[in-house]
Amino acid sequence: MENRKIECPVCGRIFHKGQGIKIAVSGQELIFHSKSCAIKFFKSLVLYLDQKNLEDAARMVIKEFEDRLNEVKEKRKKKLETL
């Protein structure tokens, strides 16, 4: 078994393969030491995005989460009605 070590691109900490937060972005696999490192990375990334594209993406993500929450609420409602 290979004991590969990885360096976090944000904090520089060395950690073992299988640990950390793994995210695929634009064809690259990024592996962060922790969720706080991933959040720091994405906060910086957002600053480089075009404002109009960012606004459109934010609207789409908000709608996606609202739709998911509405589905969950509807399922709960149906379960309660069947009891």
If asked whether residues 55 and 44 sit together in one domain, one would say: no
Total number of domains in the chain: 2
pLDDT digit string (tens) for 35-48? 999 999 999 999 99
Residue 15 region by backbone torsions, left for phi larger than 0, else alpha for psi between -120 and 50, else beta? beta
At residue 18 the predicted structure's pLDDT band, cuts being 50, 70 and 90, is: confident
One domain, residues 12 and 43: yes
pTM of the full predicted structure?
A: 0.71
State the residue range of the domain holding 3.
Answer: 1-48
Whether residues 62 and 35 share a domain: the answer is no
Mark whether 67 and 79 lie in a shared domain.
Answer: yes
Distance CA 9, CA 68 (A): 32
